[in-house]
A and B are shown apart, each in its own frame.
Chain A
Amino acid sequence: MTTPNPGKDCRQKRRQRLERRQAAITGLLLAATLLSCGSVLAILGFLSYFALPIFSQGHLAEIMSWEWRPFQGRFGILPMAVGSLGLAVTAMGVAYPLGLGLCGFAHGLGPRCLRGPIMSLIYFMTAIPTVIYGFVSVIFLVPLVRGAFPESTGYSWLTAALTLSLMILPTIVLLVHTQLQQVDAQVRLVSAALGFSPAQTLLWVMRPLASRGLWAAAVLGFSRAVGDTIIALMVAGNAPQVPNALLDSIRTLTSHIALVVATDSTSQAYQSIFASGLILFGVTTAVNLTLRRLQSGAGTAAGRRDE
Chain B
Amino acid sequence: MNKRITSLAQACSWLAVLTTVGVILLFLGFLGWRGIDTINSALFFGNTPPWEAITGRLPVWHGIWPACVGTLALVLLSSLLAIPLGLASGIYLCQYASGPWKRWFSLAVELLAGIPSIIMGLFGFALILFLKKSVAPQANTGLLLSAGCLALLVLPYLILLTQTTLEALPHELRLAGLSLGFTPWQNMIHVLLPAAGRGILSGVVLAVGRAAEDTAVILLTGVVANAGLPSGLFDKYEALPFHIFFLAAEARSDAELAQGFGAALILLMLTAALFLGAYYLKSTFTKTWDQKDLMI
Write the residues of chain A forming the contact surface with B, with a CB cutoff of 8 angstroms. 18, 21-22, 25-26, 28-30, 32-33, 35-43, 46-47, 49-50, 97-102, 104-105, 109-110, 114, 118, 121, 123-136, 138-140, 166, 169, 174, 178, 181-182, 197, 199-200, 203, 223, 226-230, 233-234, 254, 257-258, 261-262, 270, 273-274, 277, 280-281, 284-285, 287-288, 291-292
Contacts and interface: CB of A to CB of B under 8 A. Distances in A.
A97 B296 CA distance: 22
B65 interface: no
Interface string B66-92: 000000000000000000111011011
A136 B33 CA distance: 12
28 contacts: A22-B185, A29-B92, A32-B84, A33-B88, A37-B104, A37-B108, A37-B109, A39-B152, A43-B119, A47-B119, A97-B12, A102-B17, A104-B9, A110-B17, A121-B21, A123-B279, A129-B241, A134-B248, A135-B248, A139-B248, A199-B10, A229-B117, A229-B216, A258-B220, A261-B122, A277-B118, A280-B116, A288-B114
Contacts of A126: 275
B9 A199 contact: yes
A38 B109 CA distance: 9
A206 to B, nearest CB: 12
Given A124-B275, A166-B23, A169-B20, A138 B248 contact: yes
Contact of A36 (B6, B155, B241): B155
Nearest to B11: A109
A130 B213 contact: yes
Interface stretch (B123-131, B164-172, B226-234): B123-131
Given A134-B245, A230-B245, A274-B122, A254 B116 contact: yes
Which 3 A-B residue pairings sit nearest by Cβ, starting from the closest? A101-B16, A227-B116, A127-B275
B107 A136 contact: no
Interface in B180-234: 183-185, 209, 212-216, 219-220
A153 to B, nearest CB: 13
A166 B28 CA distance: 13
Given A22-B184, A33-B105, A98-B19, A136 B27 contact: yes
Given A128-B268, A134-B245, A178-B293, A110 B14 contact: yes
B118 A32 contact: no
Contacts of A234: 245, 248-249
A101 B17 contact: yes
B89 A277 contact: no
B52 interface: no
A197 B14 CA distance: 17
Given A35-B85, A257-B220, A135 B264 contact: yes
A304 B9 CA distance: 29
B271 interface: yes
Contacts, number: 254
Contacts of B152: 39, 43
Given A104-B13, A136-B264, A285-B114, A46 B127 contact: yes
| Majority DSSP secondary structure for residues of A touching B | helix
Given A29-B96, A129-B271, A131-B241, A257 B122 contact: yes
B206 to A, nearest CB: 9
Given A37-B105, A178-B296, A274-B122, 10 more contacts: A36-B108, A40-B111, A42-B123, A47-B119, A118-B17, A129-B213, A130-B214, A136-B264, A182-B293, A257-B220
Nearest to A18: B183
Contacts of B114: 223, 227, 284-285, 287-288
A129 B268 CA distance: 7
A223 B116 CA distance: 9
B244 A131 contact: yes
A46 B16 contact: no
B241 A203 contact: no
Contact of A132 (B31, B97, B127): B31
A36 B159 CA distance: 9
B272 A127 contact: yes
A152 B121 CA distance: 32
Nearest to B102: A33
B118 A280 contact: yes
Contacts of A291: 110
A29 B10 contact: no
Contacts of A110: 10, 13-14, 17
B175 interface: no
The winner among A129, A139, A277 for most chain B CB atoms within 10 A is A129
Contacts of B296: 174, 178
Given A118-B17, A129-B268, A138-B248, A36 B109 contact: yes
B260 to A, nearest CB: 6
Contacts of A97: 12, 16
Nearest to A101: B16
